[in-house]
Amino acid sequence: MAAATAGWQLVARYGIKNPEVLPSPSQIVSAGWQQRAALERNAWPTLRETELGFAFSFAVSWILATAMDFSSAARRAIYPLLVASQTVPIIAIAPLFVVMFGFGIAPKVLLVALATFFPLAASLAAGFANVDGDADRLLRSMGASRWRIFWTVRVPGALPFFFTGLRVAITYAIGGAIFAEYAGAESGLGIYLQQMQQVFRTDLVFATVAVIAICSIVLFVLTYLLERWLTPWRKHERAGREAAR
Amino acid sequence: MSGDEFLLETKGLTHQYARAGQEPLRVLDGLDLAVREGEIAAVIGPSGSGKSTLLNILAGLDRPSGGEVRVGGSGAVAYMPQKDLLFPWRTIEDNAILGLEVAGVKKKTAREQVAPLFEEFGLGGFEYAYPAQLSGGMRQRAALLRTVAMNRPVLLLDEPFGALDSLTRTQLQLWLAETWQRHGWTIVLVTHDIREAVFLADSVHVLSPRPARVTRRFEIDLPRPRNADTFASPEFARLERELLGALV
């Protein structure tokens, strides 16, 4: 990575020599630093959209996956819709959402939700379905109700699956918000990116991309921290597997 | 015979499964089982003889097609499945109280209730460990603890030591014989291990191939308490031979 950065620096500085085509890493960093106030001002709305969209998709995916677990009719009805939601191209639907919901935050939140919804709901549904039938039998022999079984076995058992889905979804989340802003917004990293492209500030385009990447990485790392906190038993399972090897 | 002589009794138990385009599959055919209070009754039979169907019915998971099941006391058995089924996300203590929790006992009260059992089950100091940190033998003891903790009149154990290596299995059999001696639990032990049946049980019920009924009932009058010496007694060898003869 260091070598690639150094190579890039040399090519940009002595090869291309045109920062509008390819700015050097040092130019990107200094341009980004100079415009840090603008970058920050535009990062907050994007993060806000990501957060709200993600919360929305989180809630809906839990509700639907739970319904799918309780009723096979619901499963047959909902699963095709899940898949359909994933096949909708975000780029195509973003302008449509802006037309329908305006330049405010609503279309962005919806697009983030749409982009992240499938991995969340599908991983949860898979996690619920993965539960050992014998665990169900054990709890039924104890006299447990369907809800009790759901909370006692299915939810904790599905968490490892859910976190896998969460990590996939989180990488789509900011991308969804950026696309939505591309289609029209008052502020946000997506619209800032577009503006800088139009005035040939390639260095600031790269700086914005870097900020987006850093935000995604931070969110990604957060999912690991959250997972470690919520599934403390997993590290013993991993240690057990390694000891068995 | 008075109805109270046995704590668990099945009379003329029949069960069949519907099959598409075929005669229904008869699994149980008039199965009579009678277990006295405080005894270990082993149920042994060839594989595919309907043991798991019988277990499901005794555990209250299935209703028989015919016949009746009577369990004295609270009318329910504490079921220990073949797999330990300890939940990896619960500590050993919280796995142990599962049955009590389902029965509506408060967590704190349930924990207090099971606490004295840990030492006896060789799990002292492992209350807050996760199942993944325990050996196979310890996990099986933890699963038995969870079963005992439910405070039901009959324990229904499905091949409790079947998945363990031979040495660990023998250790646990010795341990169970010793622990049972103190508690006098009523146990229905489903097994396909002849030695285990003779060593642990007071009565052994031999099932026929499907459709199953009890073809023979052996009284195992080996002296109690039983220990490692029991395995070496001529009486043990004789009973083992006799039981083998009934099965093959």
Mutate to test the interface with A, among B74, B89, B157, B158 (most CBs of A within 10 A): B89
The partner residues of B212 in beta bridges, in order of sequence, read B28
Among A174-183, A204-213, B105-114, B134-143, the minimum mean pLDDT is found in A174-183
Return the pLDDT at A20: 85
Across B29-41, average pLDDT: 94
CA distance B77 to chain A (A): 8
CA distance B200 to chain A (A): 24
Nearest-by-Cβ selection for A137 from B81, B88, B101: B81
User: B187-240, pLDDT tens digit by residue?
Assistant: 999 998 999 999 999 999 999 998 999 999 999 999 999 999 999 999 999 999
Residues from chain A that touch B132, judged by Cβ atoms under 8 A, are 233, 236-237, 239-240
CATH topology of domain A43-244: MetI-like fold (1.10.3720)
A134/B81 touch (CB, cutoff 8 Å), yes or no: yes
Among A48-52, A123-127, A239-243, the minimum mean pLDDT is found in A239-243
User: B2-32, pLDDT tens digit by residue?
Assistant: 446 799 999 999 999 988 888 899 999 999 9
Helix/strand/coil for B187? strand
Q: Which CATH class is domain B1-76+154-248?
A: alpha beta
Return the pLDDT at B74: 75
Among A55-69, A219-233, B45-59, B121-135, the minimum mean pLDDT is found in B45-59
User: A45-83, pLDDT tens digit by residue?
Assistant: 999 999 999 999 999 999 999 999 999 899 999 989 888
Chain A CB within 8 Å of residue B103 CB: yes
* Token digits of residue A9: 């620096």
Return the pLDDT at B72: 84
User: B63-100, pLDDT tens digit by residue?
Assistant: 999 999 999 877 789 999 999 999 999 999 999 999 99
Return the pLDDT at B4: 62
Q: Quickly list DSSP for A23-50.
A: --HHHHHHHHHHTHHHHHHHHHHHHHHH
Rounded Cα gap, residues A149 and B90, in angstroms: 14
| Interface residues of chain A, partner chain B, Cβ below 8 Å | 132, 134-135, 137-144, 148, 152-153, 156-157, 159, 231, 233, 236-237, 239-240
Residues from chain A that touch B59, judged by Cβ atoms under 8 A, are 137, 141
Rounded Cα gap, residues A238 and A218, in angstroms: 24
Among A38-42, A88-92, A173-177, A219-223, the minimum mean pLDDT is found in A88-92
pLDDT band at A93 (very low <50, low <70, confident <90, very high): confident
B83/A134 touch (CB, cutoff 8 Å), yes or no: yes
Across A178-201, average pLDDT: 91
A233/B81 touch (CB, cutoff 8 Å), yes or no: no
Pick left, alpha or beta for residue B85 (phi over 0 → left; psi -120 to 50 → alpha; otherwise beta): left
Residues from chain A that touch B76, judged by Cβ atoms under 8 A, are 143
Rounded Cα gap, residues A43 and A191, in angstroms: 10
CA distance B14 to chain A (A): 20
Across A13-31, average pLDDT: 89
pLDDT at A86 exceeding the cut of 90: no
pLDDT at A211 exceeding the cut of 90: yes
A140/B102 touch (CB, cutoff 8 Å), yes or no: no
Is residue B133 within 8 A of residue B142, CB to CB? The reply is no
A143/B103 touch (CB, cutoff 8 Å), yes or no: yes
A233/B76 touch (CB, cutoff 8 Å), yes or no: no
pLDDT at A187 exceeding the cut of 60: yes
Is residue B203 within 8 A of residue B218, CB to CB? The reply is yes
B102/A156 touch (CB, cutoff 8 Å), yes or no: no
| Chain A residue at shortest CA distance from B89 | A233
Q: What is the DSSP letter of A15?
A: I
- Mean pLDDT score across all residues of chain B: 93
CA distance A140 to chain B (A): 7
* Token digits of residue A43: 């990062």
Residues from chain A that touch B99, judged by Cβ atoms under 8 A, are 142
Residues from chain A that touch B107, judged by Cβ atoms under 8 A, are none
Burial of B115: CB neighbours in 10 Å, binned 0-12, 13-18, 19+: middle
Tell me what ipTM this predicted complex has. 0.90
Rounded Cα gap, residues A18 and A32, in angstroms: 18
A142/B103 touch (CB, cutoff 8 Å), yes or no: yes
Return the pLDDT at A73: 93
Return the pLDDT at A15: 86
Nearest-by-Cβ selection for B85 from A138, A159, A237: A138
B130/A139 touch (CB, cutoff 8 Å), yes or no: no
Domain ranges of chain B: 1-76+154-248, 80-151
Nearest-by-Cβ selection for B85 from A134, A143, A233: A134
Helix/strand/coil for B88? coil
Return the pLDDT at B1: 45
Across B159-178, average pLDDT: 94
Across B114-141, average pLDDT: 95
Nearest-by-Cβ selection for A233 from B79, B83, B89: B89
Rounded Cα gap, residues A172 and A53, in angstroms: 11
Nearest-by-Cβ selection for A240 from B85, B87, B132: B132
| Chain A residue at shortest CA distance from B58 | A141
| Chain A residue at shortest CA distance from B80 | A138
pLDDT band at A94 (very low <50, low <70, confident <90, very high): confident
Candidates B14, B43, B44; CA nearest to B27 is B14
Nearest-by-Cβ selection for A237 from B88, B102, B150: B88
pTM: 0.86
Return the pLDDT at A244: 65
B2-B4-B7-B8 Cα dihedral, nearest 10 degrees: 50
Rounded Cα gap, residues B76 and A217, in angstroms: 54
Return the pLDDT at A245: 62
Is residue B207 within 8 A of residue B175, CB to CB? The reply is no
How many CB atoms are closer than 10 A to CB B165? 11
